[in-house]
Amino acid sequence: MAKRLARLYSWNVNGIRAATKKGFADWLAGCEAEIVGVQEVRALADQIPPEVASQTDYFQSFSAAERKGYSGVGLFSRREPEWVKTSLGEDRFDCEGRLQIARFGRLVVANGYFPNGNGKDRDNSRIPYKLDWYQALFKKLAPLRRSGYRILVMGDFNTAHREIDLARPKDNQSTSGFCPEERAELDRWVDKGWVDTFREFEPGPDHYSWWSQRFGVRARNVGWRIDYVFASPSAMPFVKGAFIEPSVMGSDHCPIGVDVDPEIFG
């Protein structure tokens, strides 16, 4: 008999209250996940809809931004983690509620809502902040890697890595999310051994996780793949599949994730 795999999901829900009105609670109850990381929660812990908060099959943890209705991440897991950390050690990062790092035995899951580099006037003025955030997370995870933990970094990375990862690369060379310096930061992660799990299993085009909300864009699949699960070298042997679920509605992003051997927990 084949071993039952454990499923881990990541989903930018673009507001958990709005997503719940579109079926998120039903999806969560039925997805049979071991762990779900959500991003762009945009709610304080006491604002989580009761349809979600009442799901006792999951341990639930949230990290909110200081600014109301902005950013925020949440974690749902069948087992309670040994610990959950939310700080990168600098207030300019931590005040935006973009990160949870949770330990489950020998597995560490980092659930991140990576910054967008657009800036207020779409002038790419936040790219330096975005790259600093990436690098701060990289440094935060380094000692955990050295200690032998199996690490999965999931979330909305807000960057399409390669031309294959967005429908119109030539039109977006200067758009935050596909600027050379943003793509180079993902190159750096890969060069240091991190694995883009989806590309390990699917080398082909036309696989996206985010679409503009302009009419007809999603139906025509004019999208970007900016949501990822990155695996450390010690975690990757336990990853048995990766997927994107574009048919799941409720947000301008869709769920993505991996199936792992339960031995990853150690």
Does 54 reside within a domain? yes
Read off the pLDDT of each residue in 170-177 and give the average, rounded to a whole number: 97
CA distance 135 to 243: 26
Whether 196 is a known active-site residue: answer: no
Does 172 reside within a domain? yes
Residue pLDDT, tens place only, 21-78:
999 999 999 999 999 999 999 999 999 999 999 999 999 999 999 999 999 999 999 9
Does 60 reside within a domain? yes
Does 166 reside within a domain? yes
Q: What is the number of domains present in the chain?
A: 1
Spatial neighbors of 27 by CB under 8 A, at least 6 apart, are 248, 250, 255
Does 205 reside within a domain? yes
Does 1 reside within a domain? no
Give residue 47's domain range: 7-265
Q: What is the pTM of this model?
A: 0.98
Instruction: Name the band, by pLDDT with cuts 50, 70 and 90, for residue 121.
Output: confident
Residue pLDDT, tens place only, 230-264:
999 999 999 999 999 999 999 999 999 999 999 99
Where do we find the tokens 């997805």? 31
Name the active-site residue from 156, 196, 227, 259. 156
Calculate the alpha carbon distances from 165 to 95, 153, 160, 177, 210 in Å.
30, 18, 5, 11, 11
Whether residue 1 is predicted with pLDDT greater than 70 in this model: the reply is no
Q: What is the mean pLDDT of the chain?
A: 97
Does 2 reside within a domain? no
Does 133 reside within a domain? yes
Read off the pLDDT of each residue in 185-203 and give the average, rounded to a whole number: 98
* Domain of residue 124, CATH code: 3.60.10.10
